[in-house]
Amino acid sequence: EVQLLESGGGLVQPGGSLRLSCVASGFTFSNYAMNWVRQAPGKGLEWVSGISDGGDITDYADSVKGRFTISRDNSKNTLYLQMNSLRAEDTAVYYCARGIYGSGWFPWGQGTLVTVSS
Amino acid sequence: EIVLTQSPGTLSLSPGERATLSCRASQSVSSNYLAWYQQKPGQAPRLLIYGASSRATGIPDRFSGSGSGTDFTLTISRLEPEDFAVYYCQQYGTSPYTFGQGTNLEIK
């Protein structure tokens, strides 16, 4: 079964850091681009960042550029999101999602909640 | 940035009825890379339609997508009780990849 499982969320103070992980199973992880998408409480979906299958190309939403870093370890089937200088507006459920070229994003993980508050 | 505007914001229908959801883009969507997702409370989004009109694996044929360029539609031919949820469109052709604000499909 194709699956993604996020972890690493939690409560962090403004200005703090957190690293999210997303472990993939059931498919050849190194063959696919990956993305992070977030959803603030009661709000819609916002793309955060994406990375190519080999990890050499990364892309970010303006709202996180310079603060967040996406990376991957294909030997561990794991995607990461390093989040620094966190703000209250970064509070959200963070999902990882596999990108299939031309065919949408599937599957999505179950999400991990990040709360930025003092 | 391509802005996606979904309408209506809320759609109230009964099981068995037909639902028509709209998604309009501020500029043409590259290669019609337009997807539709369904999200239920407490769950992750689920891919329904990609490439504007192709059904994802395992999606019932009562779900269909159409459109091109800047105007897209998701149609649910006969609503089942499990179809009541929030629906999002997404363009994945041009970075930043953007989502519409969602349509809440609720039971009348």
Per-residue pLDDT band at B105 (split at 50, 70, 90): very high
The reported pLDDT for the residue numbered A101 is 83
Whole-number pLDDT of residue A100: 87
Quote the minimal CA–CA distance from A71 to chain B in Å: 18
Contact A110 B47 (CB under 8 A): no
What is the band of A77 on the pLDDT scale with cuts at 50, 70, 90? very high
Chain A residue numbers with beta carbons less than 8 Å from the beta carbon of B63 are none
- pLDDT tens readout for residues A3-56: 999 999 999 999 999 999 999 999 999 999 999 999 999 999 999 999 999 999
Q: Which of A87, A82, A72 has the alpha carbon at shortest distance from A18?
A: A82
pLDDT in tens, B11-48: 999 999 999 999 999 999 999 999 999 999 999 999 99
Give which of A34, A92, A31 is closest to A63, Cα–Cα. A92
- The answer to whether A39 touches A95, Cβ cutoff 8 Å, is yes
For A80-116, the pLDDT digits (tens) are: 999 999 999 999 999 999 998 888 999 999 999 999 9
Question: Tokens for A112?
Answer: 């991990």
B82 CB-near residues (< 8 Å, 6+ apart):
none
Enumerate the residues of chain B whose CB falls inside 8 A of the CB of residue A50.
95, 97
In this structure, what is the dihedral angle of CA atoms B23, A109, A78, A9, given to the nearest 10 degrees? 110
- Which member of B47, B96, B101 has the closest CB to residue A106? B47
Residue among B44, B54, B102 whose CB faces A44 most closely: B102
Pick the closest to residue A48 from A109, A92, A107, A7 (CA basis). A92
Residue of chain B whose Cα is closest to the Cα of A60 = B96
> Could A102 and B51 be called an inter-chain contact, meaning their C-beta atoms sit closer than 8 Å?
yes
Closest CA to B40 of A113, A92, A39, A88: A39
The reported pLDDT for the residue numbered B17 is 98
pLDDT value for A103: 87
* Residue B25, pLDDT score: 98
Interface of B with A in 59-98 (CB under 8 A): 88, 90, 92, 95-98
Chain A contact present for B46, CB below 8 A: yes
